[in-house]
Amino acid sequence: MSYIAGQYDVAVIGAGHAGIEAALACARMGLKTIIFAINLDTVGNMPCNPSIGGTGKGHLVREIDALGGEMGKAADKTFLQSKMLNRGKGPAVYSIRVQSDRRKYQEYMKQTLEQQENLHVKQAEIINIGFDDKKVKSVTTHIGATYHVKAAIIASGTFLKGKVIIGDVGYESGPDGLFPARELSGCLLEQGVKLMRFKTGTPSRVLASSLDFDAMEVQKGDDKIQPFSFDTIDVGENVVDCYVTYTNQNTHKVIMDNIHRSPLYSGVIEGVGPRYCPSIEDKVMRFKDKERHQIFIEPMGLNTEEMYVQGMSSSLPEDVQIAMLKTIKGLENVVVTRTAYAIEYDCVDATQLYPTLEFKEIEGLYGAGQFNGSSGYEEAACQGLIAGINAALKIKGEEPLILGRNTSYIGTLIDDLVTKGTKEPYRMMTSRSEYRLLLRQDNADQRMMPIGHKIGLVSDERYENMLKKQEMIKNEIERLESVTVAPSKELNDMLEQINTTKITTGFKLMELLKRPEVTYEMLEIVDKQRPNLPESVKEQVEITAKYEGYIKRQLAQVEAFKKLENKKLPEDVDYMSIQGLRIEARQKLNAIRPVSLGQASRITGVSPADIAVLVIYLEQWSRKNKE
């Protein structure tokens, strides 16, 4: 028997990285919200590597922060080591990555949820979602408590029918030995939701005292730390080192000799794994000519001796795992505290969702994170934020938030998932965006804060600070364009030293700054009137100068993109009846039901000729409706 336990606007199912952002967004936008976790001690858990950011992912964290999310603040408060990746490449791919203290991150997030107004945190497994004519009306826990709600956000991570696999051993489990969510999948299937089976892997944890760090390469953090959050003033400092070591031919031999015992190759594992984060046995099999693979040894926290062996995810039997680890330099006497495992879980085909992350066929039901087929904490968090925002906006009767590919990496990620779908766990990379130079992590505040401010997640004060920063950038660019410097020995000596052409006539400071070899700081020797500006302003001034032509070109591409995106398609189009569309295009368009011509053009199987047919159809439809 169940009983009525309460009434809420929104129920969030799962308190991982997606669930946290979803619940906070709803509550901060004034909705009475409840968030459920199977175990409250694992709120914000990092079952894989306790790190935040990295290539492409750091962009997501910056955008989450600028929209009013929490992940960037939490990462800044709990990091052990911070590094800016890709410094040797262009600013479009600069990405912050931090190694976090796993337990402190969890504590920060749990307390943030507990202290949030309008939010109730509850330990329970949701086994059923109640519907009334394909509309969400309630959620029910495993102990019979039913909560009436107007919307539900599923952020189940890897818990849905989770199964851990190590060698020939398989058992029902969530990550880190937690209970799985066994029944919710059946409820969704009854509603006609199409589920898929994905897999991810987690490497071993090992005891620090059993490792020889002197035999490994040390990796230091940055001397000058750049925070994730645009609000962080006290940036903290690096307190640990990370280490690099490598597999070798002996490691590969152990794996090859035992590959028949791998559930990946014996058929035991059914789920599809991530292409860009394969297990070590998969790497060795796929890249047989490669003599070694990089392995990172990274700490789990300050108050634990456990170290994380990044790059060695595996589902091989435990005895094989130990044997292969002991072949690696620095790990000869390794003591394993947690055995690596693969985990299979149910997730949804995200083409069943609108770009708002609401199900097309079930009103008030939203999906976020690994439930939508993505991988990674950052990918999960940004989807949770958007799902939470849109659930709140819908309940409040306001227009939904749909981020375009031209506005953000978040928009790119969601568009990829709901338009193209994915056949493997989706990971964000900078190469997925057509507008990388515009969507840098350094300008995420200028791109996203106006949106966050409009919906109520960014305060007036924070928004005003961003506008002041924008004004400083504009004024400094104008100043550099107007100031002329004369040739001087001091300036030409500096130019000669950095291997760029000397000047013989007056030169605008902006023209000098456009040279690849010249930095903003170098110009200080001849720029005597420069204002005292924050580092973030200097950085954007320099990027604007050096990449002006490329930026203008991408802005022109964005304008062309907007024309297609602004041509909205009616919700009730019967694509099967439109003459001139190929059969495949009709089927794909009917299944995806794109919101615009732009989205339609990105559907696999829809050709430019099909788009031309849709343009004519739209013109006829518009004319008919006007009449």
Distance CA 586, CA 412 (A): 24
Could you report the per-residue pLDDT of 224-279, keeping only the tens digit for each? 999 999 999 989 999 999 999 999 999 999 999 999 998 887 777 777 766 667 88
Q: Which helix (H) or strand (E) holds 548?
A: helix 548-565
Give me the pLDDT at residue 616, please.
87
From the candidate CATH numbers 1.10.10.10, 1.10.150.570, 1.10.1240.10, 3.40.190.290, the one assigned to the domain spanning 567-626: 1.10.150.570
Pick 475-552's CATH classification: 1.10.10.1800, 3.30.70.920, 3.40.50.1820, 3.40.50.720: 1.10.10.1800
Share of the chain above pLDDT 70, in %: 99
Handedness of CA 327, 329, 332, 334 (dihedral sign): negative
pLDDT at residue 17, rounded to an integer = 98
As annotated, the residues of the chain forming the CATH 1.10.150.570 domain(s) are 567-626
Give me the chain's average pLDDT, please.
93
Q: Calculate mean pLDDT across residues 322-335.
A: 98
pLDDT band at 107 (very low <50, low <70, confident <90, very high): very high
Least reliable range by pLDDT among 163-167, 240-244, 561-565: 561-565
Model pLDDT, residue 276:
62
Angle, CA of 290, 295 and 299, to the nearest 5°: 175
CB 130 within 8 A of CB 140: yes
Q: Which helix (H) or strand (E) holds 115?
A: helix 102-115
Q: Tell which residue, 545, 377, 573, has the closest CA to residue 473.
A: 545
Which residue intervals of the chain bear CATH 2.40.30.260? Answer: 205-343
Pick the closest to residue 176 from 106, 243, 113 (CA basis). Answer: 106
DSSP single-letter state for residue 72: H
* Residue pair 381/17 in contact by the 8 Å Cβ criterion: yes
**pLDDT at residue 158 above 70?**
yes
What tokens does 563 get?
A: 């024309």
Q: With 70 as the cut, is the pLDDT of residue 627 above it?
A: no
* Residue 21 backbone phi and psi in degrees, to 5: -65, -35
Question: For residue 146, what pLDDT is reported?
Answer: 98
- CATH code 1.10.10.1800 region(s) in the chain: 475-552
535 vs 540: CA distance, rounded Å = 9
| Selection from 7, 104, 20, 6 nearest residue 387 by Cα | 20
- Asked if residue 11 has pLDDT above 90, the reply is yes
Residue 92 has pLDDT above 90, yes or no: no
Among residues 106, 108, 120, the alpha carbon closest in space to that of 7 is found at 120
Looking at domain 205-343, which of 3.40.47.10, 1.10.150.120, 2.40.30.260, 3.10.20.30 is its CATH number? 2.40.30.260
Q: What pTM, to 2 d.p., does this model score?
A: 0.93
